[in-house]
Chain A
Amino acid sequence: MELFFNPFDNLVCILLGISFTVWFTLLLVFIIVPAILGVSFGIRRLYMKTLLKIFEWATLRIERGAKENNHLLYKPYSNAIIAKEPTSLEQEIKEIRRSGSNRDLDSASEFEMSDIFYFARRGVASIMDDEVTKRFSAEELESWNLLTRSNNNFHYISLRLTVLWGLGLLIRYGFLLPLRVTLAFTGVGLLVFLTCVIGLLPNGRMKNLLSKKVHLMCYRICVRALTAIITYHDSENKPKNGGICVANHTSPIDVIILASDSCYAMVGQIHGGLMGVIQRSMVKACPHIWFERSEVKDRHLVAKRLSDHVEDKTKLPILIFPEGTCINNTSVMMFKKGSFEIGATVYPVAIKYDPRFGDAFWNSSKFGMVNYLLRMMSSWAIVCSVWYLPPMSREEGEDAVQFANRVKAAIARQGGLVDLLWDGGLKRGKVKETFKEEQQKLYSKMLVGTQEDRSRS
């Protein structure tokens, strides 16, 4: 009996052993070594092209299937639910009054009951649809990328498509996810370990050099852990020491994407747990700016530390996301002026994610961090483009807010995003009373102005 089982067991053990070895060797050769050296085999780009072809095929198939069965096809999400009237307050009120009474009114003179209409309608229209609130939910796709999470309107169209989707599910969760999680742990572990080791060295050129190499290497491994395919444009504008790099913010992954190409000093709040461990070990190798929770509120302290850092030309450029919160990558919202008051050269960077492969936006009210990372790691890939824009400095007679808006406009233009004046903080807070008064002032000026005309004539 025993003799019968033993060879079988042995065989299984040997097979398992071989497959693990092969697995790790492949991992090492194709992913980790290139990450260390900073070269690429081009596997990811090939992967991306293949995926695109498959998506096109899938979308055509759906279209054909829907036509055959006369199904209601998935309609692209129109960016607005209602049509906005582009007329101004005065014009529209005149029109309302004209339609109500037969008198020919040249100017909007007295107050009339029908004036209420304009405001009531505007108010209800803004409840139905407004510019700001819709920036905070994920952008919807027009074609299907074989992930049911990107839209739920696809019904069962054909067997082949469902099989493809099932296969995709298997590949993503069975093969890609474990691979990526392994890589992520490797990357983070190496980062913590190596930065601690480097921290033991005496300060000097050697330490800085080694720290740069280590940071780059670990971030590259993390990039591969997400299968992020990044295209960097205009690398001659990369940020230099003593400058501040600003970028639009879509997700925490932005940090990894930027830091895998160039070295930055990070700014942020100290967290507890794993994040805290990583932060503390990073600061051993090269200076980053971490704030205690209580210090974050003190704007002068923050400004002072930032300006001390930029004055020291041996320190790395600071990386800041002035929007203050994650936006869904269709627009750029108001930049907080703090980082623009310091007076250092600003290097703007625009990041645009390609939504066809996976939605990178972190909706922090919907998903926690771990949930979000799991979603990222089980998508196909994260494809994005990074543009380094030429450096900008504050001009004569320009205040911090105007400078911030100028930088924001440049980033929005380059990334193909919509430039909005609204504050990203509106995700959580309320509008100030001063904005409401503007509308009232306008209306009352209109009434009072014409009263004066009449009394004069």
Chain B
Amino acid sequence: MGASHTRTEPNEFQDLMDKTGFSVEQIKNLRKRFLQLSGNEETISRENLDSIPALANNPLKKEIINAIFDKRNQHESEVGSFQEIGFEQFLMVMSHFRPPTLKTTPEEKEALRKEKLRFLFNMHDTDNDGTITLDEYRKVVEDLLSKSGAIEPATAKGIADAAMLEVASTNVPHMAPDEFYEGITFEHFEQILKGLEMETRMHIRFLDVGTATMRCGRSTS
């Protein structure tokens, strides 16, 4: 479905608008961006995303790119990951970062929140077994911390273990010393981040250009 787009017409945008919740303006802008990233092709592959310099700076780059190609983030029941994605799938992933508008009802807000949490959970849970194990968690922490020596691997491991222990203690308060903690399930994850204000922290504000002011005559640049 993704690879057969030619010229998108207004009614096709309507379909995308309903699915992802973006406005026409935002979809058009993202489409321009998509074409720029893909080099005017209809699909984006991982190599296209590798070429963004600001992303290269980000220690979670690998996880983010995996999240974009992750089938779980398409809200269908498939698992695994894509090799390339089309514009619709791109929009679906980006819609996780859409802010709520004034018209969003409390139920919709709750659903949005759950979606964002799910996105983050998927980022940690790389083998898709429904739990974030200690190893998976440690991997993410190590990526965040420097490989260049400011923190030794032992310290990184220590930090990850401590964080994991804290999580375990909040969820399974009376764990016996030899009990094996399986991992963080999605419900635990939600529990931990319950108070966190997702709405303002996990979204990206789209600039809304108002009605045009045409400037005639000499520009001042």
* A binding-site residues for B, Cβ under 8 Å: 55-56, 59-60, 62-63, 73-76, 78, 80-83, 95-96, 99-102, 110-117, 119-134, 137, 142-143, 356, 365-366, 416, 422, 426, 430-431, 435-441, 443-445, 447-448
Contacts and interface: CB of A to CB of B under 8 A. Distances in A.
Kindly list the 8 A-B residue pairs having the minimum CB-CB distance in the complex, ordered from nearest: A126-B54, A431-B56, A123-B64, A440-B146, A100-B196, A83-B205, A444-B146, A119-B60
B190 to A, nearest CB: 12
Contact of A110 (B51, B61, B162, B206): B162
Given A102-B195, A130-B54, A143-B216, A73 B211 contact: yes
A143 B211 CA distance: 14
Contacts of A134: 36
Contact of A113 (B163, B204, B207, B215): B163
A363 to B, nearest CB: 11
B204 A436 contact: no
Contact of A99 (B61, B148, B155, B201): B201
Contacts of B200: 99
A27 to B, nearest CB: 32
A440 B214 contact: no
A382 B44 CA distance: 35
Interface in B61-104: 61, 63-64, 67-68, 94, 97
Contacts of B213: 76
Interface residues of B, number: 69
A111 B58 contact: no
Contact of B97 (A112, A124, A356, A443): A124
Given A120-B120, A440-B59, A81 B207 contact: yes
Contacts of A137: 36
A276 to B, nearest CB: 30
18 contacts: A59-B214, A81-B33, A113-B163, A116-B144, A120-B120, A124-B204, A125-B97, A129-B33, A133-B37, A137-B36, A430-B51, A436-B56, A436-B61, A441-B146, A443-B144, A444-B144, A444-B151, A447-B145
B172 interface: no
Nearest to A84: B205
A122 B50 CA distance: 15
A63 B55 contact: no
Interface string B124-140: 10000000000000001
Given A120-B64, A142-B219, A426-B53, 19 more contacts: A55-B216, A60-B216, A74-B212, A81-B207, A95-B201, A100-B195, A114-B196, A115-B144, A127-B64, A130-B55, A133-B51, A137-B36, A430-B51, A435-B56, A435-B57, A436-B56, A440-B148, A441-B150, A445-B150
B197 interface: yes
Interface in B15-47: 25, 29-30, 33, 36-37, 39-40
Contact of A443 (B36, B59, B209): B59
Give the dominant DSSP class at A's interface: helix
A416 B193 contact: no
A280 to B, nearest CB: 35
Contact of B52 (A55, A59, A80, A133): A133
B177 to A, nearest CB: 23
Contacts of B167: 113
Nearest to B96: A124
B36 A76 contact: no
A62 to B, nearest CB: 8
Nearest to A142: B215
Given A73-B212, A81-B29, A448-B155, A121 B146 contact: no
Contacts of B175: none
Contacts of A366: 40
B3 interface: no
A116 B33 contact: no
B214 A111 contact: no
Contact of A78 (B140, B207, B214): B207
A310 B214 CA distance: 49
A426 to B, nearest CB: 6
Contact of A128 (B33, B40, B217): B33
A132 B36 CA distance: 12
Nearest to B215: A142
B61 A437 contact: no
